[in-house]
Chains A and B, each alone.
Chain A
Amino acid sequence: MRTLMRKFSIVGGLVAMGVLGIAAVVPLMTGNAQVQPGYPPSGYQQPGYQPMQPGYAPAQQVAPPQQRVSPAPAAAPQQPPAAVDAQPTQTAAQKQSERPPESVEVDVSTRSVAVTSSFTGTEIVVFGTVEHSRQPTAEAGYYDVAIILDGTPAPLIARRKAHVAGIWINTRSVRFEDVPSYYAIASTRPVEEIADVRVLDQHRIGFDSVHMTPAADQAQMTPEERDEFRRAVIRLKQKESLYQKSDYGVGFIGRSLFRSTISLPANVPVGPLFTHTYLFKDGKLLAKHSNRVILQREGVERFLHNFAFGYPLLYGVFAVFIAVASGLLASVMFKKGSH
């Protein structure tokens, strides 16, 4: 009996040392939630974000994260502030040719967000400036800005329950191929007022324009049904705070400087994020700018996740080892306590 006891105390001691070791490492790993490694990342292009308008395609497809994209003057003619669709007069056109076109430059407060064991969500400030701004004051409302922060598109299955034999069962399901895992939009006013649906759809601005392609094998579905599932996905994502909308979330601070705060919830899917900033004037897109925000696991989180997915068998054995060890430790402690 005594030798057995000794054996268990040795096991217990080892386990205790292991647990203490982990306990000592954890605080070290969790200290700093936000780090800023080297930036910009080289040669990155967001997958699945192919623009559809030919006029913009060449510039966007090669655009690295920090490159700004200004439309060619022919694609978006400069217009006097008051006129919406009127043809510019000869003199106005001459006047405008003296002024360089607007462009937009944007950066984010946090270029790299670390998901550590203490991660409970964070906020990202997106700020930018309108180059060659013609806006007289911050309150003028001369320009419209829409800022999107979105995650990598991923396949997703939406299911609908139906009442079958007295219980609720998932009966219908739709697989969408490329749904942004996270999508936050902030704008100077509701996006519907900024531009028409065609432009919004093209740049995926607003919940109604988020890209969702049903999988190829679901062609038999009616458009109404697809829309119903689509709305459900957006509603559920909103409920989880993974889709966010802030109609007046972008504010101008001066004639050209604007900013917006976007919150990342704790359940944000880990992966690269992108900001897309669009500058509008009277429903016309003047300029666009994209940034990348790195969102990755750090420390213990990174180690455990890589362990679980990279070496699943070893991870399973390790989990059992921890379980057996803590069970033995408990039995040793219990014996000491009661006998």
Chain B
Amino acid sequence: MNFYLPIAEMSANIFIFLGMGAAVGFLSGMFGVGGGFLMTPLLIFSGIPAAVAVGTEAAQIVASSVSGAIAQYRRKNVDIKMGIVLLTGGIFGSTIGVQVVKILRQIGQFELFVSLSYVTFLGAIGTLMLIESLSTMRKARGGKAVSSRRPGQHSWIHGLPFKMRFHRSKLYISAIPPLLIGAFVGFLGAIMGVGGGFVMVPAMIYLLRVPTNVVVGTSLFQIVFVTAATTIMHAKQNHTVDIVLALLLMIGGVIGAQFGAVAGEKLKGEQLRALLAALVLLVCLRIAYGLVATPSDLFSIGSVFGGGH
């Protein structure tokens, strides 16, 4: 059954996109990640214009994060104050990101920039996760106790001004690092069509030393608000949010996530992380291949943006 997508301006088989939503939803439910980093490349590979994929995916991330954020909030796993500082930076970063998307589309380098960002971040994070999870597995096999968190160490971050007390995180640190991290993640989210949890979570753990129990909730909390703002800005600036496509992905994603969560409970944490790392690296390699391989056609055509419709 085909459906004409109003913004992507193409006729698409709805079952393909429902299925895509379900598959990514399954993985995101299993690993507890947003899945934007999988969905956006998949949409681009399936012929959706890159900018529409990024804008639409922002809307879908809102849907997939909101229930998780509420669940975390009920369990009191959200540091609201930290979340607000992060999302202030996030909205600032995403505003810049949306403008950068507009400029890059005009000069015809948006696809390249998206690909390079994906290769860089997925490559780095996938590698780190793989190393970490493999060494944890090896240690666990060796019979040693696995400590998930090192004790807090003081670093240059603690010397910065504008100190704030974050009660739930049991931290007294400067507001500048969370603002910067938020801005960076917001910028990445607007450009890559991701929630940015895969950058936010490690940054909060290793840079800010936020306790692990509030990391996921706080990250989800700020992702909901930042991606909501990103969606609105993409719609306003770039007209690239396809609501029909977003709805298809949401429906598929919601169903897939339920099964994924059940499957995820059967695996150990480090096994999950190793699998996720492998998946992240696979996506990274696929995109890198697209950059390096000789294109079948050196030419491409595009419409003119910014000069009226």
Residues of A close to B292: CB separation below 8 A: 166-168
Residues of B close to A291: CB separation below 8 A: none
Pair B59/A304 contact, Cβ less than 8 Å: no
State which of A117, A162, A170 has its C-beta within 8 Å of the C-beta of B300. A170
Nearest residue, chain A, Cβ from B62: A323
Residues of A close to B251: CB separation below 8 A: 326
A104 interface residue per 8 A CB criterion: no
B7 interface residue per 8 A CB criterion: yes
B304 interface residue per 8 A CB criterion: yes
Q: Bound complex: CA of A334 vs CA of B243, how far in Å? A: 23
Q: Bound complex: CA of A54 vs CA of B181, how far in Å? A: 66
Residues of A close to B213: CB separation below 8 A: none
Pair B235/A312 contact, Cβ less than 8 Å: yes
Pair A316/B231 contact, Cβ less than 8 Å: yes
Pair B304/A157 contact, Cβ less than 8 Å: yes
For B, the interface residue count at a CB cutoff of 8 angstroms equals: 56
B-contact bits for A155-173, CB 8 A (1 contact / 0 none): 1111111110011111001
Main SS of the interface on chain B? helix
Q: Bound complex: CA of A329 vs CA of B11, how far in Å? A: 28
Pair A267/B62 contact, Cβ less than 8 Å: no
Pair A323/B291 contact, Cβ less than 8 Å: no
Residues of A close to B298: CB separation below 8 A: 160-162, 168
Pair B291/A155 contact, Cβ less than 8 Å: no
Pair B66/A157 contact, Cβ less than 8 Å: no
Known: A326-B63, A326-B251, A328-B67. A159 touches B232 (CB 8 A): no
B144 interface residue per 8 A CB criterion: no
Known: A118-B3, A316-B234, A322-B247. A331 touches B71 (CB 8 A): yes
Pair A319/B4 contact, Cβ less than 8 Å: no
Tell me the smallest distance from the CB of A17 to a CB of chain B, in Å: 16
A14 interface residue per 8 A CB criterion: no
A75 interface residue per 8 A CB criterion: no
Nearest residue, chain A, Cβ from B65: A327
A-contact bits for B1-45, CB 8 A (1 contact / 0 none): 011101101110000000000000000000000000000000000
Pair B70/A331 contact, Cβ less than 8 Å: yes
B81 interface residue per 8 A CB criterion: no
Pair A168/B294 contact, Cβ less than 8 Å: yes
The A-contacting residues of B in range 282-309, CB under 8 angstroms, are: 291-295, 297-304, 307, 309
B163 interface residue per 8 A CB criterion: no
Stretch at the interface among A58-66, A89-97, A228-236, A274-282: A228-236
Mind listing 11 A-B residue pairs with CB under 8 Å? A167-B291, A170-B300, A175-B304, A237-B301, A269-B9, A308-B6, A308-B239, A320-B62, A320-B231, A330-B67, A331-B70
| Extra 18 A-B pairs, beta carbons < 8 Å, given A121-B11, A322-B246 | A117-B244, A160-B298, A168-B293, A168-B295, A170-B108, A170-B109, A173-B108, A266-B2, A266-B11, A269-B9, A320-B231, A323-B59, A323-B60, A323-B228, A324-B63, A324-B228, A327-B63, A327-B67
Residues of B that sit less than 8 Å from A by CB: 2-4, 6-7, 9-11, 59-60, 62-67, 70-71, 74, 108-109, 112, 228, 231-237, 239, 241, 243-244, 246-247, 250-251, 254, 257-258, 291-295, 297-304, 307, 309
Residues of A that sit less than 8 Å from B by CB: 4, 115-121, 154-163, 166-170, 173, 175, 229, 232-233, 235-237, 266-267, 269-270, 297, 300-301, 304-305, 308-309, 312-313, 315-320, 322-324, 326-331, 333-334, 337
